[in-house]
């Protein structure tokens, strides 16, 4: 009897440890969620006396904040679309043709995916000054595109390798051109891959702080990440409620897109069914 009790207790140990870890992870997040609906939020996590949407309303109604969200959205969307288009174009010959320098090229691409972007920002700043792209939102988009292009090419090439060539060849035999083959046969099968790349590049730039911090100067050009940082510094830590509301709204796209990406990723594994039957 005693032994069974002990055995039971031992079995509960992992649960207890995991619960403790989970608690450590959840508390900081819980604070930002609760503070965002608390009319007098403080630095510590506490039960709000009453719930309010006022923090959200005042953050949302501010023109500067709206602008920052719009710019952030524009930059990340622009980047995601361009990366997917250009990387898809590049991935196609890399996956389908026998090219002489394919292997070293792909290794270089893989190498570039892992380099820390932080390390090149000082020369990029200098480059932007000389190209007159400094403090230009579209310039930042171009840099984002370049910095996530290796990832896009690597991923889409691998996704494309998984789309059987027979399907496309069947379309060609039926008289379709290479482009029509890509558009009508390859692209639909690539939807999970395209979505994965789009989501990860979008989230990457949406959450990025350092790149716009270096390449943009006028507050009117700031995306949401810089605006939040500015908010953080300017009003000090006085207005926790609004700060938290801004944070939650700013974090939301990243979280929602991650959840979506999981759906696409699991679908991606079922891709092999394309040539069956």
Pick one of 6, 7, 12, 22: the residue that binds another protein (CB under 8 A). Answer: 22
* Shorter beta-carbon distance to another protein: residue 140 or 189: 140
Angle between helices 224-234 and 63-96 (to 10 degrees): 140
Judged by CB under 8 A, which stretch of 48-56, 63-71, 204-212, 265-273 contacts another protein?
Answer: 204-212
Judged by CB under 8 A, which stretch of 14-22, 51-59, 60-68, 186-194 contacts another protein?
Answer: 14-22
* Shorter beta-carbon distance to another protein: residue 90 or 271: 90
Residue located via tokens 């692209």: 187
* Shorter beta-carbon distance to another protein: residue 1 or 252: 252
Among 239, 238, 193, 251, smallest CA distance to 72 is for 251
User: Should residue 111 be labelled a site residue for another protein when binding is judged by CB under 8 A?
Assistant: yes
| Distance of closest approach, residue 49 Cβ to another protein, in angstroms | 17
User: Should residue 87 be labelled a site residue for another protein when binding is judged by CB under 8 A?
Assistant: yes
| Distance of closest approach, residue 32 Cβ to another protein, in angstroms | 5
276 in the Ramachandran plot: left (φ > 0), alpha (ψ -120 to 50) or beta?
A: beta
* Shorter beta-carbon distance to another protein: residue 25 or 57: 25
Residue located via tokens 């998984």: 162
Pick one of 209, 235, 266, 275: the residue that binds another protein (CB under 8 A). Answer: 209
- 168-187 footprint of another protein as x/- string (CB under 8 A): -x--xx---xx---------
Pick one of 9, 51, 70, 120: the residue that binds another protein (CB under 8 A). Answer: 120
Q: What CA–CA distance (Å, rounded) separates 223 from 220?
A: 9
User: Should residue 238 be labelled a site residue for another protein when binding is judged by CB under 8 A?
Assistant: no
Taking the CA atoms of 229, 234, 238 and 243 in sequence, report the sign of the dihedral they define. Answer: negative
């Amino acid at each position: 009897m005693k032994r069974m009790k002990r055995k039971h207790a031992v079995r509960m140990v992992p649960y207890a440890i995991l619960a403790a870890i989970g608690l450590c992870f959840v508390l900081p997040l819980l604070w930002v969620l609760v503070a965002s609906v608390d009319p007098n939020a403080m630095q510590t996590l506490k039960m709000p006396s009453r719930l309010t949407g006022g923090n959200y309303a005042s953050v949302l109604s501010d023109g500067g904040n709206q602008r920052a969200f719009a710019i952030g959205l524009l930059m990340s969307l622009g980047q995601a679309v361009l990366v997917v288009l250009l990387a898809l174009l590049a991935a196609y010959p890399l996956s389908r043709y026998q090219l002489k320098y394919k292997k070293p090229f792909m290794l270089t691409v893989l190498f570039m995916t892992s380099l820390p972007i932080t390390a090149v920002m000082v020369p990029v700043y200098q480059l932007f000054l000389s190209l007159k792209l400094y403090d230009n939102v579209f310039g930042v988009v171009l840099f984002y595109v370049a910095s996530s292009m290796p990832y896009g090419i690597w991923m889409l090439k691998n996704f494309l390798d998984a789309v059987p060539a027979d399907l496309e060849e069947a379309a060609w035999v039926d008289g379709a051109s290479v482009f029509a083959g890509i558009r009508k046969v390859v692209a639909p099968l690539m939807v999970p891959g395209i979505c994965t790349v789009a989501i990860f590049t979008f989230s990457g730039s949406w959450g990025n702080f350092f790149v716009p911090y270096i390449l943009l100067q006028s507050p009117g050009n700031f995306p949401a990440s810089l605006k939040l940082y500015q908010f953080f510094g300017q009003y000090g830590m006085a207005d926790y409620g609004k700060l938290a509301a801004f944070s939650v709204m700013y974090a939301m796209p990243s979280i929602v897109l991650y959840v979506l990406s999981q759906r696409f990723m699991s679908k991606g594994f079922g891709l092999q069914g394309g040539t069956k039957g």
